[in-house]
Amino acid sequence: MVSSYLSTAGLECPVSLIESKIELIQTYLAQHGLDTKAPLNYYVPELGEGGSCSLFGHLQAEPFELSSVVNITDDKNLERINCLQAIVDCVVKESQVDWFGIYQKVTHDSQQQLVKLAYFGAESRACFPLNETFAALSNNVKVGLSKRARVINDIPTYLTEGGEYYTCDPKVLAESCLPLLSGDNQLLGIIDAEAFKLHFFDDEQLALLIAACFVIPKYLLN
């Protein structure tokens, strides 16, 4: 199962290390999942011209309400979203990553989107349309459409060499974006992790992120 995910996502990481991280996250959930309360709304940046880019440091006046996109009136969904926030907390605690978010694929306003359900770090946009236009700007969407992970451990060099990258927070120097997949390799969503240090995502960090991709699907919303 782990090997299949690695193949689909185009990743290499020791399977035994991933399995140990899965146990770590599950243990954290068992200890803290019931005590964690996820925010059901959060502030997001203003969008630039055309709505494709976020204006870093400029927030919309009113917070984004998750209930506008997903069903969080159901008690089971509330439990799930709290568990997702606990997974975020675990990943941040264990990795010291500077930004981490969990996005689920949903259909809203007659189009498929990635909606941010739980996160840690600076404010960022709530939803990404899953289409080729946004894939040109967003690693989240590119990973969502391709189901292939993107790990960029040196963003400045990547940009210098002509790589395409949408810079939201200029402090971010490394990013890992991984797909969330079902047992039959259908896209369920993505996770995104960002660090203010170069070459942050070594095997230990990647194993933790990949492990999260195995625990998260159980707690995605219905």
Q: What is the strand order of the sheet 99-108 is part of?
A: 127-129, 111-120, 99-108, 187-195, 174-181, 150-152
Residue 146: give the domain boundaries.
1-218
Q: pTM for the whole thing?
A: 0.95
- Per-residue pLDDT, averaged over 47-61, amounts to 72
Query: How many other CB atoms sit within 10 Å of the CB of residue 49?
Result: 7
* Closest residue by Cα to residue 151 from 180, 179, 117, 130: 179
Tell me how many domains the chain contains.
Answer: 1
Flag whether pLDDT at 52 surpasses 60.
no
CATH number at residue 133: 3.30.450.40
User: Contact, 137 vs 125, CB < 8 A?
Assistant: no
Distance between CA 118 and CA 109 in Å, rounded? 21
- What confidence tens digit (pLDDT) does each residue in 86-128 have? 999 999 999 999 999 999 999 988 899 999 999 999 998 999 9
